[in-house]
Structure 1
Amino acid sequence: MLTSVQDIGMISVIKVASSCLTSADYAVLKAAQERAQQGGRSALLVDLQAVRRITQSGLAALLEFQSETPRTGAVGFFGARRPVREAIAKRGLSPLLPLFESQEDALESPEFRIKRLAGVKSVILVAGAGSRMAPLTQEMPKPMLDMLGHPIIAHLMRHMQRFGLRDFILNPGHLGSEFHAFFQSSADRSVQFVNEGHYQGKSWIKAPVGSAGTLHAIQRKTSAFDGNFFVLCGDALTDINLADMMEQHRVRDADVTIAVQQVPVEDVHKYGIVDANAVGRIMGFVEKPEPENAPSNLASVGIYIFNPRVLKSAPLSAAHGGDIGKDLLPALLLSGGRLDIYEDSFSWIDIGCVRDYYRANSLGLRGLLPDVQPEGTEIRRKVWCAPGADVDPRAIIVGPCHIGPGAVVEAGAKIEGPSVISAGARVCVRALVRRSIVMPDSCVTPGTWVDDMIVCGDWAIDHRFADGTAQICPPLEGVVRVAAACEYPQTAGGQGR
């Protein structure tokens, strides 16, 4: 029997060329398996499309081949014709020999998808000040803002880990100590920091260098990039198929592949717009153009794959203090680099301003956000309660709502969703929270109404109109810090409508 082997990430696909599979074929399969393992591959898929008939000894050969795979690996078979499938089923071997209809079905199954990008490194950009998200980002960097029990960046990482990505590099800048504290114990992933700042005593001082400068600093300091690597923004959520994007990048041998989505023409002024030809090769970039000047409506979503050779060829002006979108990519294009788009059907939620943040929480509560599930137990229909939360059964709660860890909802309080009561927050008797987010360690005092707001003890903002433009956000009467709640008059009540 002759075989051919194709490698897809950490998976080797072994194509069987024999029309009749017998025990004599075991040695060839075993040799292909050993070559794959020597090459560092931990998963094997066997293509059985050419096999028209399988003998009993051939079935035994497949069983032995499957049983000798290390427990850390995975083995599957696909493309089996009807006589082969029937022979396997007749002898009750279906549970032992996992069969898939096609290679595509096998690669999308959880046990193989998690192998496709194992070993690939990912940079998640987190240094930005998030000024359009103020005042939420005054005390917490945007990627670390809570999203139904976990930081935004944790939800993004969970999606990436579904493809086997677990080696992450972060560039903390604004409030960088928050990242250090959260990721100090990450058993299921490797997190490395290349800081855009430093500690001065116990205080963190940011020192921005720009996203392009960050990539060069990572390579200069750690030589981290020995193969194609991902770069993503830490403040967006997506369900993009990263393995398919990487496969396209490898096949085309692109210098950079950029994920894009079509946006409404009237919204092109919000994005970096890409001009690409019919085969997906990028011809130019326009940053936030007016609709009449836009070459297309293809917006970059801030998800890139880079070949490390671009860090050697990029002009120094783009390497020092530059931005990836504004400086590095146009410079690579001018120098003759091959930049391609990746355009497919995927969800992408850009959390750019306070309005976007509320909308993302609302979508997550309704089950419409990729890879985001509210933390905790569903104590009532569409009402999730995180561990440590205390909800009085006499409180009136109409979902969807999320009550964070350590939060308290008193008897007689009323909450209408979509709403979030964050960690350590408190909603007192006769208080009303409707379509709002109460930020951590904030107290809605007795009789206070909070409508269509995001509130904490120091500020309040109507999320419906918070589009990223500068706003004055005075505190809402009746919402205080939890630490100050004991001093607040119990009969007080403000209205935030």
Structure 2
Amino acid sequence: MLTTSEDLGMISVMKVATSRLTSADFAALRKAQMAAEERGRFAHLVDLSGVRRAAVSGLAALLEFQSAAKSNGSIAFFGAQPAVKAEINKLGIAPLLSLFDTRKEVLAHPAFRACQLAGVKSVLLVAGAGSRMAPISHDTPKPLVDLLGQPVIEHVMRHLESFGLRDFILNPGHLGPQFHTRFKTTAHRSIQFFNEGQFVNQRWQPAPLGSAGTLLALQAQCAAFEEDFFVFCGDALINIDLAEMMAQHRASGAEVTVAAKFVPHEEVQKYGIIEADGRGRITHFVEKPAPEQTQSRLASTGIYVMKPSALRHLSSRFTLPDASMQGLDIAQHLLPKILKSGTALQVYEAPFDWVDIGCPKDYFAALSKALRGLIAGVSPEAQEVRRHVWLAPGAELSARAVVVGPCYIGPGAKVSAGAKLDGPTVVGAGARVAPRALVQRSILMPNTAVAPGTWLSDVIVSADWAIDHRFADGGTTSAAPMEGVTHAEVAQAPVGLPRVGSL
């Protein structure tokens, strides 16, 4: 009765092929289930597309099997033929069966989506200095910049976890100890650090290797990759269907699959641009070309699925990393090498959202979209106390403050009576907005205080610098301190008493 059984991540897919389903088929289903669980699979899909008819006893067997299988994990059926569905409806048991129309539909259900990629490793690249994000990145690595109550990389990891990805490798470089403080291995996720830096005389000194150099060193020192693995940037928000991307990668036989998005032709110089044939095979790859150098608008998003063997195109044998590995980049060095060898590279270009937070202008745009609910999976870690006004735990908002959303007020922040916020605006954790102050279309960085009567518009501001986010696109930007803006702890110091550290 049972013709095939395959594993999809941590899911077993059992295909039933019989002209007529009867009670005798229960034993075959149970046998396949137990065999799958011996392989470590505790989520089960039963493909009924091959069943043409079903006796009452056969449908009872499905109910019995579902009851038995649910004791150990998730179970669902899909693909039932019209005649079988009609019999199920006639008996009134449709509400009792976990029945879906298609395999794609059932795999989109959270219980099954979270099993598809379990055990697959993900490298999240976080070592870079983020110079285009200055001055924000001077004190905070780009992946740890706050986005409505959680760092950007946390939002990325939550999306990955929705597909069962739990094994993360981070490569701290710039301000590396902040990652060590923020992330720990838990019962629900494994965090491994591959440090690209070290403490010298009690001061952290970054030593980034480059994206491809990181992968080479991971394999050389740790033998990190035995099977296909993902590579992500830690500072770009995505809602890509990672299970589908992996399935296409494996079906193509490519060494590397690159997720790509179409961008305006006048913006191709910002990206690695891909040219591909009708089968999705990459034929040419050029990093940040001038618009006149390419007709393609297909930009790499920095999301990859790789076979471990792909790394051998940069190193004939794995040795301990040396100076020759430093600065090696996936886009500039690894992909061109693979192309030159004639080995297959594949593009994945199904529709998905990609929010790249590369500079302060991007950061403000991302916050604005998220406040309006326009970024899938990203919402404020806060209570909506007024329409489009969110208050995080420990924050204070005076009933006599004027707030026009969308606005987010972070943990421990305080907006006083007589203050006005005009969205999209974010008040960072521990920040203070005094009476008669106006903050509009701006971001107050954490622990920043705005003095009474100060007006701020279209800025990202801390006590030490302020920038106009409308023009902060990664180039040279004036970042002088702004009058009326100080450190929150300074603003709260009791009058007449010396501040900590003063003479």
TM-score (structure 1 length as normaliser): 0.95
Change over 3 Å in CA distance of 1:366–1:101 after alignment to 2: same
Q: How does 1:29-428 map to 2 (within 5 A)?
A: 29-69=29-69, 71=71, 73-184=73-184, 186-200=186-200, 202-315=202-315, 319-428=325-434
Whether the 8 Å contact between 2:209 and 2:325 is mirrored in structure 1 is: no
Whether the 8 Å contact between 1:209 and 1:321 is mirrored in structure 2 is: yes
Report the equivalent of 1:494. none
Q: For 2:448, give the aligned amino acid.
A: S
**Residue 14 (structure 1) shift:** 1.3
Aligned length: 489
Whether the 8 Å contact between 2:438 and 2:454 is mirrored in structure 1 is: yes
Change over 3 Å in CA distance of 1:74–1:137 after alignment to 2: same
The 2-side partners of 1:278 and 1:2 are apart by 37
Indicate the larger mover: 6-15 or 282-291. Answer: 6-15
- 1:27-63 per-position Cα deviation (integer Å, ceiling 9, x unaligned): 2212222232233322211111222322232123212
Change over 3 Å in CA distance of 1:412–1:292 after alignment to 2: same
SS in 1 for 2:286: strand
The 2-side partners of 1:151 and 1:12 are apart by 35
Report the equivalent of 1:492. none
Q: For 1:28, give the aligned amino acid.
A: A
Indicate the larger mover: 243-252 or 20-29. Answer: 20-29
Whether the 8 Å contact between 2:208 and 2:326 is mirrored in structure 1 is: no
**Residue 83 (structure 1) shift:** 3.8
Indicate the larger mover: 73-82 or 257-266. Answer: 73-82
The 1-side partners of 2:412 and 2:388 are apart by 19
TM-score (structure 2 length as normaliser): 0.94
The 2-side partners of 1:318 and 1:17 are apart by 56
The 1-side partners of 2:309 and 2:301 are apart by 23
Whether the 8 Å contact between 2:185 and 2:191 is mirrored in structure 1 is: no
Whether the 8 Å contact between 1:318 and 1:328 is mirrored in structure 2 is: no
The alignment yields a C-alpha RMSD, in angstroms, of: 1.7
The 2-side partners of 1:464 and 1:72 are apart by 54
Where in structure 1 do 4 or more consecutive aligned residues deviate above 3 Å?
A: 86-96, 315-321, 486-489
Indicate the larger mover: 356-365 or 182-191. Answer: 182-191
The 1-side partners of 2:83 and 2:398 are apart by 62
**Residue 117 (structure 1) shift:** 0.7
Report the equivalent of 2:444. 438
The 2-side partners of 1:424 and 1:132 are apart by 26
The 1-side partners of 2:18 and 2:155 are apart by 45
The 1-side partners of 2:339 and 2:283 are apart by 8
**Residue 294 (structure 1) shift:** 1.4
**Residue 469 (structure 1) shift:** 0.2
Whether the 8 Å contact between 2:311 and 2:334 is mirrored in structure 1 is: no
The 1-side partners of 2:299 and 2:324 are apart by 21
The 2-side partners of 1:437 and 1:482 are apart by 15
Whether the 8 Å contact between 1:259 and 1:342 is mirrored in structure 2 is: yes
Indicate the larger mover: 79-88 or 452-461. Answer: 79-88
- 1:257-300 per-position Cα deviation (integer Å, ceiling 9, x unaligned): 00011111100011111121121111121111111111411100
Percent of paired sites with the same residue: 56
Whether the 8 Å contact between 1:319 and 1:328 is mirrored in structure 2 is: no
Whether the 8 Å contact between 1:383 and 1:397 is mirrored in structure 2 is: yes
Q: For 1:310, give the aligned amino acid.
A: A
Gaps of 5+ in 2: 317-322, 496-503
Q: For 2:465, give the aligned amino acid.
A: W
Whether the 8 Å contact between 1:315 and 1:331 is mirrored in structure 2 is: no
**Residue 90 (structure 1) shift:** 4.6
Change over 3 Å in CA distance of 1:392–1:193 after alignment to 2: same
SS in 2 for 1:285: strand
Whether the 8 Å contact between 2:173 and 2:196 is mirrored in structure 1 is: yes
Change over 3 Å in CA distance of 1:395–1:186 after alignment to 2: farther
SS in 2 for 1:23: coil
Indicate the larger mover: 66-75 or 322-331. Answer: 66-75
Report the equivalent of 1:472. 478
The 2-side partners of 1:187 and 1:452 are apart by 42
Report the equivalent of 1:461. 467
**Residue 95 (structure 1) shift:** 3.9
SS in 2 for 1:440: coil
The 1-side partners of 2:187 and 2:420 are apart by 39
- 1:107-156 per-position Cα deviation (integer Å, ceiling 9, x unaligned): 11111111111111100000000000000001000000000100000001
Q: For 2:232, give the aligned amino acid.
A: L
The 2-side partners of 1:29 and 1:464 are apart by 61
The 2-side partners of 1:471 and 1:248 are apart by 43
Whether the 8 Å contact between 1:14 and 1:32 is mirrored in structure 2 is: yes
**Residue 72 (structure 1) shift:** 5.2
Whether the 8 Å contact between 2:2 and 2:29 is mirrored in structure 1 is: no
Whether the 8 Å contact between 2:313 and 2:334 is mirrored in structure 1 is: no
**Residue 328 (structure 1) shift:** 1.2
The 1-side partners of 2:324 and 2:280 are apart by 24
The 1-side partners of 2:26 and 2:118 are apart by 28
Report the equivalent of 2:18. 18
The 2-side partners of 1:325 and 1:488 are apart by 54
Indicate the larger mover: 422-431 or 23-32. Answer: 23-32
The 2-side partners of 1:150 and 1:72 are apart by 34
**Residue 201 (structure 1) shift:** 5.2
